[in-house]
Amino acid sequence: MDSLKEKFAAKAGPAAAEVKALIKEKGDVKLGEYTVAQVYQGMKSMIGMVTETSKLDPNEGIRFRGYTIPELREKLPKTPGGTEPLPEGIFYLMLLGELPTEEDALHIGNDWARRAIVPKHVFDVLDKLPASTHPMTQFVIAILAMQTESIFAAAYAKGVNKKEYWSYVYEDSMNLIARLPRVAAYIYRRKYKNGVHIEPDPKLDWAGNLAHMLGYDEDNMKSLMRLYMTIHVDHEGGNVSAHATHLVGSALSDPYMAFAAGMTGLAGPLHGLANQEVLSWILKLREELGGGLPSESQIEEYIKKTLADGKVVPGYGHAVLRKTDPRFTAQQDFYNNYIRPNGKDDLCEIVQMIYKVAPPILESTGKIKNPWPNVDAHSGVLLTHYGMVEHDFYTVLFGVSRALGVLASLIWDRALGHPIERPGSMTTEGIKKKIASIEAKG
């Protein structure tokens, strides 16, 4: 080991043990409004920002402007004869706080279709990357390559009244959302389908067109894409992708920069990349057992081994939720309504078995606060069912959907004139001194 690295290692080990002990012994001491444990452990449940578009309840799950996912599956506009909501509608709801009519959703769809042309240099940039580049890296690079089009950045450089910022952020956000399906499909077709690309179909809705450009024209895959693009949009403001977008946007970095930051966060395996991880983890289980359906006790052993190896069980747990994620339930419902009546799907069945077996094991560790499945536990097996087996692409789909929520929020951030975000921090030395002074005062 390099000498600098060696010196660091000698300090880091004992420091980590000291911090762990400090949290254990003094975690409940309050540093002002918040405890030592909250300051060290990711600011969980601290209220530190305003998000208008959605609110997460630990037990009930997400509500978008007051509406639950089952309510939205019923109330949001659909394609003629369709059964799943149009993402155009949830964007309208998040932006305006009102349920859209069919005409409102159609208006947004037409607007996005008009804005959907991706500048050629973005494809040129993607074409220069090694095909092995992870799809999320390609996605972030493409978003940044599109930044040449930023209307906000151009207006700011020219000089613009701060009251008008939101209007330029709105234009950039709408352009970005409109273009992301084409970018995502380009990455997919380039990496997995020999670069044979599919032109958009202007008659299709935003999510239906995404499925089409990816190469999936089956009606039920289009329905799945509409549901997928609706349930992944937003999860209030503190999750990594939303928070990173909000934080970077607060420096008045334009929406392309801010959204790219959010997407680099989504690419983490504890966040959006978990959907890829779940599929890899399930496939490995099947491979180890030689295929077919595992028994419950085999799943139990596999989960215990994952934990014993010091790894996380992907798709389980949450920083806020304390019950089964309603986004998981919506996908389970999709399986039961669209797929199961025509014959069981092995991978989807394995997901149902894990749902039965995993929670008690995770709970028995005594430390995992939420033993229940999150959104990522189910999404990959549904996509696989319709033939999209390239699991390292899944997080890109999550990212396309997440754009709707975080960019609606970004427009609001500028409309409300939120300032640059700059929370305070302390050193461990400072925290220890503060605890000592609090304890001395009795």
Give the residue from 72, 39, 65, 38 showing the smallest Cα distance to 51.
65
Residue with Cβ nearer ligand HAX (160 or 368): 368
Q: How far is the CB of 123 from ligand HAX (least distance, A)?
A: 28
- The CB-nearest residue to ligand HAX is 317
| 72: contact with ligand HAX by CB under 6 A | no
Catalytic annotation on 318?
yes
Looking at residues 253 to 282 of the shown chain, list those that interact with ligand HAX (rule: CB under 6 A): 270-272, 274
Catalytic annotation on 418?
no
Give the residue from 250, 211, 177, 220 showing the smallest Cα distance to 337.
220
Residue with Cβ nearer ligand HAX (173 or 241): 241
| 376: contact with ligand HAX by CB under 6 A | yes
Looking at residues 228 to 247 of the shown chain, list those that interact with ligand HAX (rule: CB under 6 A): 239
Which residue among the candidates 318, 378, 385, 391 is catalytic per the annotation? 318
Q: How far is the CB of 307 from ligand HAX (least distance, A)?
A: 6
| 326: contact with ligand HAX by CB under 6 A | no
For 128-156, letters b (16+ CB in 10 Å) and e give ebeeebbbbebbbbbbbbbbebbbbbebe
Q: How far is CA 49 from CA 258, 413, 416, in A?
A: 16, 10, 13
| 317: contact with ligand HAX by CB under 6 A | yes
How many residues sit close enough to ligand HAX to count as binding (CB under 6 A)? 21
Window of 136-144, 175-183, 369-377, 417-425 that interacts with ligand HAX by CB under 6 A: 369-377
- Residue 321 backbone phi and psi in degrees, to 5: -60, 145
Gap between the Cα atoms of 296 and 191, Å rounded: 36
| 193: contact with ligand HAX by CB under 6 A | no
Binding mask 280-309 for ligand HAX (x = CB under 6 A): ---------------------------x--
| 312: contact with ligand HAX by CB under 6 A | yes
Kindly tell me which residue out of 314, 380, 399, 405 binds ligand HAX, with binding defined by CB under 6 A.
Answer: 314
Q: What is the DSSP string of 193-257?
A: STT------TTS-HHHHHHHHHT---HHHHHHHHHHHHHTS---S-SHHHHHHHHHHHTT--HHH
What are the tokens at 421?
A: 């975000």
Gap between the Cα atoms of 381 and 282, Å rounded: 9
| 43: contact with ligand HAX by CB under 6 A | no
Enumerate the β-bridge partners of residue 85. Answer: 78
| 61: contact with ligand HAX by CB under 6 A | no
| 394: contact with ligand HAX by CB under 6 A | no
What are the tokens at 442?
A: 């009795």
Q: How far is CA 265 from CA 76, 176, 243, 272, 412, in A?
A: 29, 18, 9, 8, 21
Q: How far is the CB of 49 from ligand HAX (least distance, A)?
A: 17
| 316: contact with ligand HAX by CB under 6 A | yes
| 367: contact with ligand HAX by CB under 6 A | yes
Catalytic annotation on 271?
yes
Enumerate the β-bridge partners of residue 34. Answer: 31
| 409: contact with ligand HAX by CB under 6 A | no
Enumerate the active-site residues.
271, 318, 376
> Given the rule CB under 6 A, which residues bind ligand HAX?
239, 270-272, 274, 307, 312-319, 367-370, 374-376
